Amino acid sequence: MTARQVVVIGGGLAGVTAAIGLREAGFDVTLLEARPRLGGAASSFARGDLTIDNGQHVFLRCCTSYQELLARLGVSDLVTMQERFDVTVLSPHGRARLRRTALPGPLHMGRALTGYRLLPLAERLKVARAALALRSLDPADPAIDGVPLGAWLASKGQSERARRVLWDLFIVSALNIRGDEASLALSATVIQMALLGKKDAADIGVAAAPLGDLHGRAAADLLGTLGAQIRLATKAAAVERLPGGGFRIGLTGSGTGQQDADGAWPAADGPALLADGVVLAVPPGQAARLAGAAGLEGAGRWADLGASPIVNVHVVYDRQVTSLPFAAAVDSPVQWVFDKTRPAGLAAGQYLAVSLSAADTYVDIPAASLRQQFLPALERIFPAAAGARVTDFFVTRERRATFRQAPGIGALRPGTATAVPGFVLAGAWTDTGWPDTMEGAVRSGQRAAEELTRWLASQPAPSGAGRPEAATARTGAPS
């Protein structure tokens, strides 16, 4: 029997997950990726002898689907997970340690909060009361979707200081938006799931290898082994519904995988692909265009999800300046800082990456100015840095790192299935119930594979006549 043809557009974590699921369900899968590598927003590049991540990524123990993907890719040993949630918070005025106990959630965070000396004691108790109030919210309630976190916290007695030195620590990095401007619904999701959920839910995991190895290379290996077609540096330019059923996907792509001087992927018309089903796993702006052209009404609204930047400031020292694997900072422009020495492959000295979320005010600042600001800031939290020589300094900027996780955003996130049969959506921006994260991306890919599998199974078996030709046959790619 001829297997059904499925095209997955977009090779980020969502598309990769969908492609694996669909191939395992027995479909002929072609995965299209505009860039010359898989992995999407979580990737790496070479800088001299080092391998640099485009931006620091962390995950929590409650990110179960992401960890399932890592296991399926055979790379679970390339991440490290702390045994117990433990965050050192640095400030020019001292430091605090937020460490969970072995008590069941939410009691496991009690001691960390009451001992958080960067906030006056009376304020810590108020934080506990607000956290319990947040715990009782229903994130799916449309009434809270439109409420900004800052206003809600203020109404619960949370001072400016409490919002900046405690709530922002987790919300700004989790939602990539200024804490006061964050969606209350998504904030409640994060706090309930991670900090007030099961006791081990917030234990932090980081990659011990470059993200490119963890996601891109491992995904290409597995999909190749499973027999999926991967077409890199190939962009879907249009998706068209065919009158007799199925889809025609128009392609552009040079096949060289080289960006032009403006950072765009060069286009050259290529042969079209035909498919019985399509997973659209690209960011919301591109998805709106492709789905709109495929006749999906209302897709234009997805562009309203907007974008929020993340900037990483990378500093290589000639010696070790901290023994912490990572730390958060308050009363400092540094938000979170990570020791990247080992994952990047640095043989001597120490490589720190400062991760700046909600980086609207940094994204257009020249590297020289950021250097002037961040080297002294790092010296204030790591005094040993004052005696160290900086051997390299550079900045990575992801202007559209996530969608803007602001009030009202829940109503804009579409589900997996669409009004077009056989045409499903995936991506961390779709309605996963999660913020724009690797976990959300993987969950969306799993759902997309399930939805398309279910729909294709409900269709009459292909007769061979009048159905779309094999995608591979039209392109001449090996099967």
Ligand X SMILES: Cc1cc2nc3c(=O)[nH]c(=O)nc-3n(C[C@H](O)[C@H](O)[C@H](O)COP(=O)(O)OP(=O)(O)OC[C@H]3O[C@@H](n4cnc5c(N)ncnc54)[C@H](O)[C@@H]3O)c2cc1C
Residue 398 binds ligand X (CB under 6 A): yes
Total site size for ligand X, rule CB under 6 A: 36
Residue 210 binds ligand X (CB under 6 A): no
Residue 282 binds ligand X (CB under 6 A): yes
Q: Output 160 or 269, the one with its CB closest to ligand X.
A: 269
**Sheet harboring 247-252: ordered strands across?**
235-241, 247-252, 269-275
The number of residues making up the chain comes to 479
Q: Which of 165, 281, 294, 315 binds ligand X (CB under 6 A)?
A: 281
> Closest distance between ligand X and the C-beta of residue 378, in Å?
19
DSSP characters for 211-268? HIIIIIIHHHHHHHHHT-EEETT-EEEEEEE-TTSSEEEEEE--SS----TTSPPP--
Q: Choose the binding region for ligand X from 118-126, 192-200, 300-308, 397-405 (rule: CB under 6 A).
A: 397-405
Q: Which of 436, 443, 452, 467 binds ligand X (CB under 6 A)?
A: 436
Residue 406, classed as helix, strand or coil, is: coil
Give CA–CA dist 172/182, Å, rounded: 8
* 63 φψ region: left (φ > 0), alpha (ψ -120 to 50), beta (else): beta
Give CA–CA dist 107/105, Å, rounded: 5
Q: Which of 25, 130, 134, 310 binds ligand X (CB under 6 A)?
A: 310
* 29 φψ region: left (φ > 0), alpha (ψ -120 to 50), beta (else): beta
Residue 58 binds ligand X (CB under 6 A): yes
Residue 4 binds ligand X (CB under 6 A): no
Q: Choose the binding region for ligand X from 78-86, 104-112, 277-285, 468-476 (rule: CB under 6 A).
A: 277-285
Before 478, cis peptide (omega within 30)? no
Residue 57 binds ligand X (CB under 6 A): yes
Residue 217 binds ligand X (CB under 6 A): no
Q: Output 15 or 422, the one with its CB closest to ligand X.
A: 15
Residue 96 binds ligand X (CB under 6 A): no
* Contact criterion met (CB below 8 Å) for 198 and 85: no
Residue 35 binds ligand X (CB under 6 A): yes
Residue 290, token pair as written in the block: 């492709």
Q: Which of 11, 21, 150, 277 binds ligand X (CB under 6 A)?
A: 11
DSSP characters for 237-248? EEEEE-TTSSEE
* Contact criterion met (CB below 8 Å) for 295 and 301: no
Q: Choose the binding region for ligand X from 21-29, 324-332, 438-446, 458-466 (rule: CB under 6 A).
A: 438-446
Q: Which of 8, 18, 22, 42 binds ligand X (CB under 6 A)?
A: 42
Residues in contact with ligand X by CB under 6 A are 9-15, 32-35, 40-42, 54-55, 57-59, 235-236, 281-283, 286, 310, 398, 401-402, 427-428, 436-439, 441
